[in-house]
Chains A and B, each alone.
Chain A
Amino acid sequence: MAKKLNMRKRYELLTRGLGWEPTYQPKEKVFPQESYEGIKIVDWDKWEDPFRLTAEAYWKYQAEKDKKLYAIIDSFAQNNGHLNLTNASYINALKIFIQGVSPLEYGAHRGFANLARQFSGEGAQIACQMQSIDELRHVQTQIHTLSHYNKHFTGLHDPFHMHDRVWYLSVPKSYFDDARSAGPFEFMTSISFAFEYILTNLLFVPFMSGAAHNGDMATVTFGFSAQSDESRHMTLGLEIIKFIVEQHEDNLEIVQGWIDKHFWRAYRVLGLVSAMQDYMLPDSPMSWKEAWDIYFVDNCGALFKDLGRYGLRMPKFHEQATAEAEHLSHQIYFTLYQFSHAAAFQTEIPSKEKMDWLSEKYPNTFDKYYRPRWEMYAEMEKQGKRYFNAGLPQLCQVCQVPMCFTEISKGKPLDLSYRLSEYNGDKFHTCTDACKAIFDHEPEKYSHAWLPVHQIFQGNCGGEEISDVLKFYHFNPEDSGEYKGSADDISWRAAHGENNDIEESA
């Protein structure tokens, strides 16, 4: 019997020597997207995947991961695991997850499939194919896991339809559309590096660990199962950046520009995760700020120290993101609270215990700026005037988050922050210097953004009334609004033998 090949040799056989030089058509026509971004690749053979997985090992381990996950999903369903959560209000975080994140997994699947076609290097083709299949696995396992919750709770019934239309979901959607409508190298820098390497730990590690903490075995399992692939993607993302920069000196400036832009775009998307983590997990094991310090400040500090010898520096505006860490979740959750009558999830004022936890985790900001506002809303609710904002928010032209951010880095955390650009005689508003810089660099792209609020006003979203728009979104009436007294709250209490005579405050 032939001797078993070693890992390096196996990887080499899989990723080298299978390509060919085209003769019927010039190479630029076979790979038409490879050069127009200005990235110069001299030698694709320098591409090296640090995890040298062969096709055989890949399928074996992925099958193993799925077997474990599906065994847990089955047992979770058979044992009515949803009844062992800390509270049904927790499901609201899962609603945002399946509406906002799972469709991104699908977008990544399509994006990497395209890259596998567009890159001419075989090592890159193989890596992109595997990642494309990973991403498809993620969206499928997420749908399968959360379908159990869909039998018992509201808001989970049509996430893909919602993703393409709903105002708060245009935040993640527009980021991925931005990356997918760019060239292959920019997409890769955006998704593999800025999103996966720099930021996804913030989503998949503390939030999923939080799911375990709140009794959601099924979600932590798909989360960690997906994250085991992410570790591979992140590692690859780092190698790709080094590969591109080492290929040609002209590449450095282009790549740094993309890192700056996509760090900020992806960070803005994670604003939703900050609210999920701090407010929507009934018990949070770690605050957004703590997670930011560990996964961004420490970890990315080390990363960019390492990348310094390639001439790369920390992403522009990272100081601002760090300065915002003590405010972000509060500002985002206030916005979700005010507009949840038009959302497919419900919100509520944080409990007393939750507020005390927030005071402890945010000693510089919560009691000073945010607790008084919650106390005011609580007072209004007591008087039967649960606050919903009757208007439609102005959205940032780039990140599409409602203009809820303040001038934190200027030391004015109570002043609303907005910026103005003019392009072709029209005015465009952005939320920060960072989003404005992105707009001003490519106004021809962002001036075309599909902004949900503008679209509602233009009559493109089902009609004039909020109720028409919600129908257009495929929301059911019980999906939205205040959590207390909601269908989810009532069925949860009934299942736990609790009194449903709660105050009608909404």
Chain B
Amino acid sequence: MSESKVFIILQRNEDARPFVEAFEQENPEAVFKYDQPGMIRIENIGELKITEEVVSELAGRDVDLQELHLVLVSLSGCVDEDDDYFKVSWN
């Protein structure tokens, strides 16, 4: 895995909450930055990943991971997604 940093920026709102919590749970090394108004910046070395199972569990309903589009502000890294996971990484 690369030593480079990937990031995802999400809006700071209720719709983003299960995603943010899933990133917390599934990427224990990730750093969460709340210093910029209106948004949350999530950084990690190498990759950031979430799974549909965890996001749905945290939201209390079946979540389609593409709902991420509604709260996504920016990201850096190569995207890999499927029905059951979403991942950003540098190779």
Contacts and interface: CB of A to CB of B under 8 A. Distances in A.
A205 B66 CA distance: 21
Contact of A302 (B36, B67, B69, B76): B76
Interface string B50-78: 00000000000000101101111111111
Contact of A208 (B5, B35, B38): B38
A206 B5 contact: no
Interface stretch (A48-56, A75-83, A90-98, A347-355): A48-56
B4 interface: yes
A231 B73 contact: yes
Contact of B74 (A201, A285, A302): A201
Given A231-B72, A306-B90, A212 B79 contact: no
Contacts of A31: none
A204 B9 CA distance: 12
B37 A213 contact: yes
What is the size category of the interface that chain A forms with chain B?
A: 35 or more
Contacts of B77: 302
Nearest to A50: B79
A6 interface: yes
A235 B75 CA distance: 8
B70 A65 contact: yes
Contacts of A110: none
Contacts of A6: 82-83
B11 interface: yes
B7 interface: yes
Contacts of B38: 208-209, 212-213, 220, 224
B29 interface: no
Nearest to A53: B66
A227 interface: yes
Given A227-B73, A228-B73, A285-B36, A238 B78 contact: yes
A68 B74 CA distance: 18
Given A61-B70, A209-B39, A306-B2, A50 B80 contact: yes
Interface in A1-60: 6-8, 50-53, 57
A299 B75 CA distance: 10
Contacts of B35: 285
B69 to A, nearest CB: 5
Contacts of A239: 78
Contacts of B37: 209-210, 212-213, 220, 285
B79 A235 contact: yes
B90 A305 contact: yes
B78 A306 contact: yes
Contacts of B64: 57
Contacts of A65: 69-70
Given A51-B79, A51-B81, A302-B6, A234 B36 contact: no
A61 B80 CA distance: 19
A400 B48 CA distance: 41
Contacts of A286: 36
A298 interface: yes
Contacts of A285: 35-37
B4 to A, nearest CB: 4
Contacts of A298: 5
A303 B91 CA distance: 10
A286 B77 CA distance: 23
A232 B74 CA distance: 9
Contact of B83 (A7, A224, A234, A238): A7
Contacts of B76: 299, 302-303
B75 to A, nearest CB: 5
Contact of B73 (A51, A224, A299, A301): A224
A64 interface: yes
A208 B11 CA distance: 11
Given A50-B79, A51-B79, A228 B4 contact: no
Interface string A226-257: 01101110110011000000000000000000
Given A7-B82, A224-B39, 7 more contacts: A57-B64, A209-B36, A212-B38, A224-B73, A231-B75, A235-B75, A306-B2
29 contacts: A8-B82, A50-B78, A51-B69, A64-B70, A201-B74, A204-B73, A205-B9, A205-B36, A205-B73, A209-B36, A213-B38, A224-B39, A224-B73, A227-B72, A228-B71, A231-B73, A231-B74, A232-B69, A234-B74, A235-B78, A298-B5, A299-B5, A299-B76, A301-B4, A302-B2, A302-B5, A302-B77, A305-B90, A306-B78
